[in-house]
Chain A
Amino acid sequence: AQSVTQPDIHITVSEGASLELRCNYSYGATPYLFWYVQSPGQGLQLLLKYFSGDTLVQGIKGFEAEFKRSQSSFNLRKPSVHWSDAAEYFCAVGAQGSSNTGKLIFGQGTTLQVKP
Chain B
Amino acid sequence: DTAVSQTPKYLVTQMGNDKSIKCEQNLGHDTMYWYKQDSKKFLKIMFSYNNKELIINETVPNRFSPKSPDKAHLNLHINSLELGDSAVYFCASSQVLTEQYFGPGTRLTVT
- Residues of chain A touching chain B, judged by Cβ–Cβ distance below 8 Å, are 32, 34, 36, 38, 42-46, 49, 88, 90, 96, 100-104, 106, 108-109
Contact = CB atoms under 8 A, between A and B. Distances in A.
Interface size, B (range): 20 to 34
B106 to A, nearest CB: 10
B9 to A, nearest CB: 9
Which residue, of A38, A45, A100, has the highest number of chain B Cβ atoms within 10 A? A38
Would you call the interface of chain A mostly helix, strand, loop, or mixed? strand
A3 B57 CA distance: 18
A46 B42 CA distance: 17
Contact of B99 (A46, A101, A106): A46
Interface of B: 4, 31, 33, 40-45, 48, 50, 55-56, 90, 92, 94, 96-97, 99-105
Nearest to A48: B99
A103 B45 contact: yes
B97 to A, nearest CB: 5
A109 B42 CA distance: 7
A20 B101 CA distance: 24
